[in-house]
Amino acid sequence: MISQIVFIVLFGVAVYFFIKNVSRIRRNIFLGKEEKLNDNPSLRWKNMGMMALGQKKMFDRPLSAIFHLLIYVGFVLINLEVLEILIDGILGTHRVFKDYLGGFYFFMIGFFELLALGVLIACIAFLFRRYISRVPRLVHKDLEGFPVKDATMILGIEIVLMGAVLLMNIADRELQVSGNMPVSGLFAPWFMGMDDSTLHIIERVAWWSHLVGILLFLNYLPFSKHFHIILAFPNTWYASLKPKGDFENLPSVQQEVSLMLDPSAQPPEGYVPPESFGVRDVYDLSWKNLMDAYSCTECGRCTSVCPANITGKLLSPRRIVMQVRDRLEEVGRNIDSHGKAYRDDKDLHSYISAEELWACTTCNACVEACPVQINPMEVIYDMRQYLVMEKSESPAELNSMFTNLENNGAPWQFSAMDRGNWTKEG
């Protein structure tokens, strides 16, 4: 009975804090501007199925895709075994499904063990890629500090969780469970000859380690890049269905220009002149941009295909998304400490430099490469609008073009009267 009470208390506390932290993230996301992205639901469900569930973009790089798929499938399916652990913990039973499922039960356990072994191999392979072969996008300067520790910690937790499952099965196999457990059977000889009390202690330690590890992992997710395990699904469902590179005129700018060009024009009923243009801070981004920030896997595929980054410029699309998330987290902490109306003396431009923003060629390579359909270019483009339209800060080359457009109606430095002169040459 004491064991059941401890289990229920631990589970309840873990779920409470998980819900609290997810609610905090949800609040932060909806600090962004409203954007309607619920058109064509059938196409959106299809897109989510291919991108989040089917991991279509991952297979652009088959080796890492196979290892990632092992971890992904293992994470999803092995948690079916966790359901049995939860029931056993609450009811005080032991392997409650065994008597109901008969021989099929051991088929499932055998399958889960093979998956657990696959996850172990995949985690070791990912650690090898980070620390031995040192894949460039995984050791990039973007990842210095916490991101490196975060990735390593998650892989370590996965290894511990899978090891605990296998150790629990090995001990239980020798102690009281008869059935085919393919992976446990390989290691069973190491445990032969142990007395029942020792096996029981090993089995219970492994059982509780697996349970506590899952609850800790659950509550670590909201602070980790691995929250994409959850957000990948809504993020791909709400992804833009427009062709890449399709830009819209800002309605506020279009309205202001229309009123300026026609002095007799009347503003629409309820018209409120815009207070600002472009993106100064996270409040000016859409809620989907902010969901993108929390959905980032930090895989670096965007940065690895960015022509600006490849040619040595400062821009890294991954860093742009990570900086949006860091700024959003800071804004969230300010709200927690001082209330929703509080504003500090920083903005998103304190995190992302003009040099990074103007290095972007708006080629959409980063958008095309992202496995969960994040759009770093949209953030860059909107932040550049702020620099031009609010701060009048743009490169000299653009200033020259703006002057020509204003004076000549074209980007070139000659009047409209001279545009056809080239036809007279020769």
Residue 179 — pLDDT band, cuts 50, 70, 90?
low
Q: Are residues 233 and 281 in the same domain?
A: no
CATH code for the domain of 373 = 1.10.1060
CATH code for the domain of 116 = 1.20.950
The pLDDT value given to residue 387: 94
Instruction: Establish if 365 belongs to a structural domain.
Output: yes
Residue 172 — pLDDT band, cuts 50, 70, 90?
confident
Q: Are residues 153 and 188 in the same domain?
A: yes
Q: Are residues 155 and 255 in the same domain?
A: no
Give yes or no for residue 222 having a pLDDT over 80.
yes
The pLDDT value given to residue 20: 96
Instruction: Establish if 40 belongs to a structural domain.
Output: no
Instruction: Establish if 416 belongs to a structural domain.
Output: no
How many structural domains is the chain composed of? 2
Residue 304 — pLDDT band, cuts 50, 70, 90?
very high
Q: Are 204 and 168 in contact (CB under 8 A)?
A: no
Residue 30 — pLDDT band, cuts 50, 70, 90?
very high
Angle between helices 317-338 and 2-29 (to 10 degrees): 110
Give yes or no for residue 339 having a pLDDT over 60.
yes
Q: Are residues 225 and 316 in the same domain?
A: no
Lowest-confidence pick of 9-13, 105-109, 140-144, 384-388? 105-109
Residue 187 — pLDDT band, cuts 50, 70, 90?
confident
Q: Are residues 359 and 219 in the same domain?
A: no
Q: Are residues 82 and 216 in the same domain?
A: yes
Q: Are residues 398 and 256 in the same domain?
A: yes
Phi, psi dihedrals of residue 33, rounded to the nearest 5°: -70, 155
Per the listing, tokens 């801070």 go with: 281
> pLDDT tens digits, residue range 226-282?
999 999 999 999 999 988 878 777 777 888 788 888 878 888 887 787 788 889 999
Instruction: Establish if 271 belongs to a structural domain.
Output: no
Average pLDDT rounded to a whole number, residues 58-65 = 88
Residue 185 — pLDDT band, cuts 50, 70, 90?
confident
Q: Are residues 160 and 83 in the same domain?
A: yes
Beta strands in 45-140 (DSSP E): none
Instruction: Establish if 44 belongs to a structural domain.
Output: no
Share of the chain above pLDDT 90, in %: 47
Q: Are residues 163 and 19 in the same domain?
A: yes
Instruction: Establish if 242 belongs to a structural domain.
Output: no
Average pLDDT rounded to a whole number, residues 322-350 = 94
Q: Are residues 184 and 309 in the same domain?
A: no
Q: Are residues 210 and 289 in the same domain?
A: no
Instruction: Establish if 213 belongs to a structural domain.
Output: yes
Q: Are residues 196 and 327 in the same domain?
A: no
DSSP string, 326-395: HHHHHHHHHHHHH-TT---S--GGGTS-HHHHHH-----HHHHH-TT---HHHHHHHHHHHHHHTS----
Residue 176 — pLDDT band, cuts 50, 70, 90?
low
The pLDDT value given to residue 426: 57
- Supply the mean pLDDT for the chain: 88
Instruction: Establish if 245 belongs to a structural domain.
Output: no
Q: Which domain holds residue 334?
A: 251-261+276-408
